Structure 1
Amino acid sequence: MTGPVYSALQVRALELGPFGYRPDGDSPWQHWQLQRDDEGVAWLLLNKADSRVNVLSAEVLEELGQVVETLHNTLQTDPPKGLVLRSGKVGSFCVGADIKEFRHLHSESEVEEKLNRAHALVKRLKDLPFPTVAVIHGAALGGGLELALCCDYRIAIEGATFGTPEVLLGLHPGLGGTGRLVDLIGPIPAMTMMLTGKNTRDRKAKSQGLVDAVVQERHVANAVRFALTGKLKRKKGGWQNTLFRIDPLRRFVGRKMRAQAAQKAPPEHYPAPSALVDLWEKHGRNGKDLLRYEVSSFARLLTSETSRNLVRVFFLREQMKSLTNVGDDISPIRQVHVIGAGAMGGDIAGWCALQGLRVTLFDTQPEMIAKAIGKTADLCRKKRMNTAQTRAVLDRLVPDFSHQAIGQADLVLEAVPEKLEIKHKVFSTVEPQLKPGAILASNTSSIPLEQLQDGLQQPERLVGVHFFNPVAQMQLVEIVEHSALSDDTRQRALKFVGQISRLPAPVSSAPGFLVNRALTPYLIEAIMMLDEGHKAESIDRVALDFGMPMGPIELADQVGLDICLGVADMLRERLDNNLPETPAWLRKKVEEGKLGKKTGEGLYTWENGKPKESDNAPRAPEEILDRLILPLLNACMACLREDVIDNEELLDGAMIFGTGFAPFRGGPMKYAHERGFEDIRVRLQQLAQLHGERFAPDPGWRTDAPTTELVSE
């Protein structure tokens, strides 16, 4: 038997030893079940109550301590022949610590106390005097992987993934992972895994020695028996562990690691990578020393402002993901028809195909469709897909040269140039061909939906679905609402965003929506500084030092100077925000087709996808940072006050995932609260006196004005 039904049955039919295929039955514990099979092997199942996935909460760890105590109590009378640790959840093994509990730990001493107890607990598991085997399916991440490392053997089910993503929360492993991982697979692969936070798949994990076998689910029972005999060969860290006991060598390699990590995560903003390297440099002679000093290092990081903000960002992501859970009664999108195969449309079509949807792509220029298919193939290669997987993606991306597929699509999305008359012409052609219930979506970046709906017979099924460039990297999609939008269309659009692994931000149909409304004054101010004679590299460096992923000049080139100019003109026309006039030299660049990265020349000259930058640009004046950041914050406050977006949390999430706003700062409004509304208001007034009314503070900064609380704090 083959196909999706067989695959689904395979996933559900977990080998659970004495529990059969259903982890049911009485247990003295809420989250764990312990039972022996006919051969005297104890099977311990982790099945966290009232949770879709297993996480290591304080309650789960406390119960694990009771389970291990029970096992130790059997040693004198009736010890088991071995222990098998397995998840009772069909989806994964364990995805790590319960991050919600991090927010209730306020001091280093409190963190150290809890971690020391947890270390003692898992050490008792590791010290059991009979063989232990972790059977891992799905994801074993963070604390889940650290729990598996306490077992003598690890058997992975095909498709299993392993990772130490703590660095993404401003941390490093804290449940013994630093020492045990280094001892097991060697310092270089272990440190690489912990510093990058990237996952490792089953076969690579086997080659590294992270797991001892990779099997299919139906072979688990035999693999467990083989492991318990002691015949399963285990790969050790070997020569690396011996070599890196030499302190000068470890320090030399540590400097290289620290420098490489700093290129992607400056230590002044993201201290975790540097702290991990320090830990290994000082105490990496053996795993036991790493285990001992891991606790205090983890405690310092967890109570840092960076980690607290990154934990906040984690929950912002979860909050936005939850918006896509609209219920099983809402029909999913199965087929998408994209109109326009340009930079955005082609990438949207390719991404949807990559996420498993059938996509038809129309453009009046066949060569544009061919280019989009080529870019999708390149994306598959970057995702390290094999030939068969790439072929499957490309088979789902179907050229449509004559609009024939409109009537079969569940969602038709236009991504044509940002001109109202062009979009109206597309809609007049498309709407009569839509099947009942189909969604008509626009990737407009700034045009109000009230204008787009003019002339539609059924405006209730028009919705803005605004992606950001580059589509494969930017996680945000703005769902733009309007007064005629039906609830069913809105919910299906949200579900669609979840289907393609993106994060939605519902926004009202105001000029520029949220992200472009906030970014435009930031970009315009950078261009005004160019007009004053400041160097592009100097301006960009200020933003990079603040923590932005790229500077505003490079960003303008990435977005496209034509798009920036169009949005600025629209906002200047429709909002009373005192935006300055665009310099004539910039309009001339756009007229000459020097639009930025996509044409090879804009504010920078581009080669091989990167801007050519001068290495000797002077340092920018101190006021440059406020001139860049405060207009962005001012626009964010205006969007909140005008109900463009519901609350500060969604705004912060949208700006982080849509613009890359410095994640370690927790979002623009989190930064504004920390800096102080009054300080921002006064500074904006000062800048307005120096540089003009474009800096006039929004009324929302008044300390007596009502604001939305940061409820995630």
Structure 2
Amino acid sequence: MTQKNYKHFQLETDADNIAWLSIDKANANANTLNRELVDELDSILDELETERPKGLVILSAKTGSFIVGADINEFTTIKSTEQARELIRRGQSVINRIEGLRFTTVALIHGHCLGGGLELVLGCDYRIAEDGVKTRLGLPEVRLGIHPGFGGAARLPQLIGAPAAMDLMLSGRAISARAAKRLGIVDFAVPDRQLKDAARSVVQKPPHKKPLPFWKSATNHGLVRPLLAKILRKKVAAKAPKNHYPAPYALIDLWARHGGNKQAMLQGEELSVAKLVLGDTAQNLIRVFFLQEKLKSLTKNPFRAKRVHIIGGGVMGGDIAAWCALRGMQVTVQDRQETTLAKVIQRAAKLYKKKLKKPRLVEEVLDRLTPDKDGLGIPQADVVIEAIFENVEAKQSLYREVEPQMKPGALLATNTSSIPLDVLSDCLSDPARLVGIHFFNPVAMMQLVEIVSAKNTDPEVIAKATAFTRQIDRLPLPVTSTPGFLVNRVLMPYLLEAVVLESEGV
């Protein structure tokens, strides 16, 4: 057994002459594809071509993911289309080299395998994914105003047929390992403990690959592509106008012209993405990406909630409760009306069926969501969120009842959208413990959550609220308790203008 260490990789060749190439980007929590990493991979491929192992297994040394995509920081350095084209050509060439290796190549996927990461594994002979809830595969480039540029648009339609491939690329959504197996993106979906054994078995005895069914293969035919492209354009137009979001239309046009020719598709990807990445849409979406990353980085407090109690079973309270349970917490939801609590469970079940698909998983999450008419969950809760109607007296009366029941260190939060925190907290024995955690409707879709603080709010409480928001996979936006906070304050001028327009008969 031999082992070589590089800056971003470890290469180990075992007794069976199988090379195991682990990706471990230096000084990073997750693997992303940048120029330096791609160049190092290229030099390693030189060595492997000389050594000719029995097979190559590509895997990640990061515990939570495979490759999460391209390094978006490099996008900000691109100043010309030629510079962009050169960067894209470099990525394509390395993946083309992997595809052309004269020995079996296997990608072992766990966690997130997105964008350039999925494009890289499409260059391998076989793909094996961990069958776990954290494994997600997708090509989300359209969400940055571009489309796949490292060969994804060229290879995926040929691998699984155009309808499924275009749906994934145009929506940017990520799918589970089992869904990827059903579509044919991965060859096997196995438990984590079996990943390496499965890779070893595939290298030693490469299984026969079934050809793509005729009807799926026919979707890439030159006579069929224009018809499908017309349908795809119509579907995209129903959601996004071309002048605002040109990338989906560019992808459809590219595939319609060159979908049957991989080399032409690769060249088309290079030209199209190089043009798109410098456009206003991509530049604005890249800016949004970095703003989101900034909000994610605000969390440094180690606070982690295990139990959450929601007071108020209306649309907002019920949906907050459902979302917290989906994110793994034990949740009790309180309301005076049992019929209201029943509706909370019904809406939650609908959400879980949509998100999780499998009845067993749906039942597991529903078991974490408990109707609690009498508020018995308050003393055990790490977080108590009030989400009742907007009335100062009603909220203050509730706080007087709830505060003595809460355990030390538990968060007391309000979902108010308009009432100043210093007014609400005036009734508390410890006014500094109240914080605003303001969700937007629909909770399951809106990522932004305002973390509202008054002048007297304890900074530790704010930090805990921020940590809790990230724990439930939402973006915490710190704001002060001023009229409208931030989002509604920004929205108000638009609403006023709409009133004026209506009064003028426009």
Q: Which category of TM-score, normalised to the shorter sequence, fits these structures? A: over 0.9
State the Cα distance separating 1:532 from its structure 2 match.
2.9
Measure the CA separation in 1 of the matches of 2:444 and 2:290.
22
**Equivalent runs, 1:76-475 vs 2, <5 Å:** 79-159=52-132, 160-240=135-215, 242-244=217-219, 246-323=221-298, 325-328=299-302, 331-475=303-447
**Residue 17 of structure 2 aligns to which amino acid in structure 1?**
G
- The answer to whether the 8 A contact 1:444-1:464 is kept is yes
Greater share of strand: 2
- The answer to whether the 8 A contact 2:158-2:220 is kept is no
Q: Which has the larger radius of gyration?
A: 1
Q: Give CA deviations for 1:615-641 in whole Å, capped at 9, x if unaligned.
A: xxxxxxxxxxxxxxxxxxxxxxxxxxx
- The answer to whether the 8 A contact 1:157-1:202 is kept is yes
Measure the CA separation in 1 of the matches of 2:413 and 2:319.
16
Measure the CA separation in 1 of the matches of 2:358 and 2:408.
38
Q: 1:465 to 1:217 in 2, by over 3 A?
A: closer
State the Cα distance separating 1:245 from its structure 2 match.
5.3
Secondary structure of 2:389's partner? coil
Q: Give CA deviations for 1:63-110 in whole Å, capped at 9, x if unaligned.
A: 011101112233xxxx21111111111211111110111110011111
State the Cα distance separating 1:246 from its structure 2 match.
4.0
Q: 1:202 to 1:350 in 2, by over 3 A?
A: same
Secondary structure of 1:109's partner? helix
Corresponding residue for residue 68 of structure 1: 45
State the Cα distance separating 1:174 from its structure 2 match.
0.7
Measure the CA separation in 2 of the matches of 1:347 and 1:518.
24
Superposed CA RMSD? 1.7
Q: What is the TM-score with the length of structure 2 in the denominator?
A: 0.96
Q: Give CA deviations for 1:299-324 in whole Å, capped at 9, x if unaligned.
A: 0111111111111111111111111x
**Residue 421 of structure 1 aligns to which amino acid in structure 2?**
E
Measure the CA separation in 1 of the matches of 2:193 and 2:384.
43
**Residue 260 of structure 1 aligns to which amino acid in structure 2?**
K
Q: Give CA deviations for 1:206-245 in whole Å, capped at 9, x if unaligned.
A: 2222111222233334322332245413244342565245
Measure the CA separation in 1 of the matches of 2:418 and 2:220.
59
Measure the CA separation in 2 of the matches of 1:223 and 1:405.
46
- The answer to whether the 8 A contact 1:209-1:235 is kept is no
- The answer to whether the 8 A contact 2:431-2:456 is kept is yes
State the Cα distance separating 1:273 from its structure 2 match.
0.5
Q: Percent identity?
A: 47
- The answer to whether the 8 A contact 1:45-1:88 is kept is yes
Secondary structure of 1:504's partner? strand
Q: 1:225 to 1:417 in 2, by over 3 A?
A: closer
State the Cα distance separating 1:111 from its structure 2 match.
0.8
Q: Give CA deviations for 1:515-566 in whole Å, capped at 9, x if unaligned.
A: 11221232232133223334xxxxxxxxxxxxxxxxxxxxxxxxxxxxxxxx
Secondary structure of 1:436's partner? coil
- The answer to whether the 8 A contact 1:154-1:212 is kept is yes
Q: What is the TM-score with the length of structure 1 in the denominator?
A: 0.68
- The answer to whether the 8 A contact 2:131-2:177 is kept is yes
- The answer to whether the 8 A contact 2:49-2:101 is kept is yes
Structure 2: gaps of 5 or more residues: none
Measure the CA separation in 1 of the matches of 2:342 and 2:195.
46
Corresponding residue for residue 46 of structure 1: 23
- The answer to whether the 8 A contact 1:184-1:236 is kept is no
Q: 1:173 to 1:337 in 2, by over 3 A?
A: same
Secondary structure of 1:54's partner? coil
Q: Give CA deviations for 1:101-148 in whole Å, capped at 9, x if unaligned.
A: 111001111111222233222222221111111111122111111111
Measure the CA separation in 2 of the matches of 1:471 and 1:245.
39
- The answer to whether the 8 A contact 1:361-1:400 is kept is yes
State the Cα distance separating 1:407 from its structure 2 match.
1.7
**Residue 295 of structure 1 aligns to which amino acid in structure 2?**
E
Q: Which has the higher contact order (CA 8 A, sep 6+)?
A: 2
Measure the CA separation in 2 of the matches of 1:167 and 1:117.
21
- The answer to whether the 8 A contact 1:341-1:372 is kept is yes
Measure the CA separation in 2 of the matches of 1:411 and 1:140.
33
Q: Give CA deviations for 1:457-511 in whole Å, capped at 9, x if unaligned.
A: 1011111111111111111111111121112211111111111111111111111
Q: 1:494 to 1:50 in 2, by over 3 A?
A: same
**Residue 203 of structure 1 aligns to which amino acid in structure 2?**
R
Q: Give CA deviations for 1:393-437 in whole Å, capped at 9, x if unaligned.
A: 222222222223222212221111111111111112112222211
Secondary structure of 1:398's partner? strand
**Residue 161 of structure 1 aligns to which amino acid in structure 2?**
R
**Residue 397 of structure 2 aligns to which amino acid in structure 1?**
K
- The answer to whether the 8 A contact 2:304-2:468 is kept is yes
- The answer to whether the 8 A contact 2:356-2:362 is kept is no
- The answer to whether the 8 A contact 1:182-1:287 is kept is no
Secondary structure of 1:224's partner? helix
